[in-house]
Structure 1
Amino acid sequence: MTTQAPALAPAAVSRPRTARRARRLPAPALVSAVVLAAVAALTLLAPLISPYGPLEGDLAARLQPIGSPGHLLGTDGQGRDVLTRLLHGARPSLLAGLLPVVFAAAVGIVLGLVAALGHPRVHTLVMRSLDVLYAFPAVLLAIAIAAALGSGISNAIIALAVILVPPVARVTESEAMRIKSADFMAAAQVSGAGRVSIALRQVLPNVAPGVVVYATALVGLSIVYAAGLSYLGLGVSPPTAEWGVMVSEMQQYLFTAPSLLLVPAVAILVVSVAFNVLGDGLRDFFNVRTDAS
């Protein structure tokens, strides 16, 4: 599966993109925002509200089904409370989803602006270099980088950041190239503004909405990738609570206690879908059009 960057274009290029008529997020996006806010709150409050310790187990109470007394979501193969591990596992799962996108956005925006506003040879060099990364499927490349660096959440974040830089850079470059022909860009150049000033004061504010929309959707994908790396033993290592680790540990009980396997899997699904729906809502809010390629 290769991460593809859709061509994003503003519905109408104008200097003051902040001067818009009042808009509201679509209802599905608002619901997603509420879900994500609730997940974030539960993650922060996990040490206070979780009924047990994330590593606290009772072999006499192992594999308790969902709804068991004292264990709302049951227990795993070592008698650890699944709800507790789900709450504590949200933090590394969300960090492994958010941080790679933040790092990739920071690097991708710079590369995209340099490619779009620099010399044509610079544009060719930057974009062709990014194409080298596109030659490899994103998942396989992330696995290869994580395997080379070793297991651990830090290395997983680095691996995911590397594979997410090219699509963010392409979105930025595509937006900036469209904006280059706008009247306010010509006026800025005539006024004697330097390239750095034009990039920061004219281009970046117009590029930002499209990048934010795309990056929001990438968070959901990054969470799935991070869980996959942990599942393969290349991300967070057991016994640390993390959703991918929980899926890996529960798979051996697929036929004896299948409902327990669904708990972390559903958590990954809900959060990743929520980020995608929120990204769609932000696309409508910022009036950014996605062109099918």
Structure 2
Amino acid sequence: MLGTGELHISQSKYILDLLRRASLSSSKPVPTPMLSSLKLTSDRSEPYENPTLYRSLVRELQYATLTHPEISFSVNRVSQFMKNPKQHHWTALKRILRYLSGTYHHGLCFQKSTDLRVLVFADADWASDTEDRRSTSGYCIFLGCNPVFWCSRKQTAVSRSSTEAKFRCLADAGAEILWVLKLLQELRISQPIAPTVYCDNLSAVMLSANPILHSRSKHFEVDLHFVQDRVSKGQLHVIHILADSQIADVLTKPLSTTSFEKFKNKLRVVPQPTMSLRGAVENHHALVTEITNS
């Protein structure tokens, strides 16, 4: 049951309808939306016989990420093969649906809080795509303890080092932070301190505070200047975090069951609470008593 000041948002009916359309309503659930060892490519198996269904289900899964941020990476991967889906792409898509069949009642839990700091977790999986060697960026923005924005996408350029890949992700996250701050300003919500970005790459963290351009960073100079400018003006703090505490890891790569569950919980994706009729009746009696005595 939800406590005072908590709100749970889920898409149970939408996901059940989606499973019905895919004829997977009675499928056996799986613990993760994607195998940690899976490598999707464009030319590994026979073409899937119903590409229209594939594209339709992927589009609907993109909408499901509104309450299931933990599947963002998996949906992003299968969406990259919508033009010419193969049989093993369909298998990967079915696994996401099988995962949702066991977690359709899960959703985001928002908690009332006086802590309105903007906290960001940013990560990148360097050269993760085996075909074009582009990296995958992932970041999530928290307002206090509640996630308000998350993203998983393939980078537009090939990074020559893990530091460059992480720094491109920092720059993208920084741009989104500016948008969030502007929105909070319009809502008249002041920030007690500058937003904090947590990154698990020590080189990227050191570069963000170092105004001296090194020869190895010239190929991503624009991103470097953008982040360094915000840090030098005190508009952004970039702090190093251990890899096993990096929540954005779930947005950049398929994880083992243990790691996936840990980061999923930190994203505040939890089962829908059971409604208690007894509690509702007690609250009704208390309200009646209060009105009567007033």
TM bin (shorter chain): under 0.3
Q: TM-score, structure 2 length as denominator?
A: 0.22
* Bigger fraction of residues in helix: 1
